[in-house]
Amino acid sequence: MKLSQTQLDQFDRDGYLFFPSLFNPEETASLRREVPHLYAQDRPENIREKGKDSVRTNFAAHMYSEPFARLARHPRMVEPVMQLLDDELYMHQFKINGKMAFDGDVWQWHQDYGTWLNDDQMPTPRAMNVAIFLDEVNEFNGPLQFIPGSHKLGALEAGHDISTTSYPLWTISNDNIRTLVKQGGIVAPKGPAGSMIMFHSCLVHASAPNLSPWDRVSVYLSLCAVSNHIKRFKRPGYIAHRDFTPITCLPDDCLVHPYPVDLPWKDGTPLIEQSGLQQAA
């Protein structure tokens, strides 16, 4: 999948691109069927909502789940990011965010690169997020909210919020958000399951709690240029990956055909990946 010049210009201006219904119902269903099995497992990769059993985030499913291992190598996601970053890519982070009906908590205003810089020592923002809707996303179930153009400001000052939710995050102050919104406004892409958003690692974004009766499960791939790999292994390896091997794409029909994939963590998360180290090799 190759981006047009119009799309490249739009990404440069806004910091994101939205592709409604990029994956068909059969492709999306192959992923959605796997989610309950993943969320039910007692693995360190499952981070649950504060004080609840609902999963907030499942990390690194591509290391132990066949459908998601194939998704991690899908050309519809990998090739446009390679085009934008002009480099081979490795998987910095892979997560399935489960903003579940009635229980899905807030994600505060933040830039992903803020966390990757402060926690992982990623040298520059030459990394990209790709989000795929596994459920329909509407105005009621906590859609992603973006401040268009905010990616052009680079890494913004952020504070480390370790108390609001079950997942620590480097967040941007309310005063700075007021200023940014006056300049760029707020957008919230919505659409059917199978839609995809690609957004810059410095784009300021958030999402409200899900008080609706509809789940809003989405997959997020954080793809980083191989030449821009992280320098610190402070966080567990299932959160910030330490393998910088370039991704090799599978054929475009990989979600509906059982191409063989490696599942190195199928029998459990290696102990070395469950702890933080101090420095990359």
Average pLDDT over every residue of 46-73? 90
The domain ranges of the chain are: 5-274
Residues in contact with 87: Cβ distance below 8 Å, sequence separation at least 6, in sequence order: 126, 225, 226, 227, 228
Which amino acid is present at 227?
A: S
**230: pLDDT strictly greater than 90:** yes
Could you read off the pLDDT of 156-167 as tens digits, one per residue? Answer: 887 776 666 656
With 60 as the cut, is the pLDDT of residue 113 above it? yes
Exposure class string for 63-100: b at 16+ Cβ within 10 A, else e: bbbbbbbbbbbbebbbbbbbebbeeebbbbbbbbbbbb
| Residues 45-59: tens digit of each pLDDT | 998 877 777 888 899
Q: What percent of the chain has pLDDT over 70?
A: 96
- Model confidence, pTM: 0.91
Q: What is the mean pLDDT of residues 263-274?
A: 93
For residues 156 and 78, the model is more confident at: 78
Give the three-class secondary structure for 55. Answer: strand
| Strands laid side by side in the 46-48 sheet | 16-19, 196-200, 127-133, 216-225, 89-99, 55-59, 46-48
Q: How confident is the model at residue 100 (pLDDT cuts 50, 70, 90)?
A: confident
Q: Domain 5-274 classified CATH 2.60.120.620?
A: yes
What is the predicted pLDDT for the residue at 63? 97
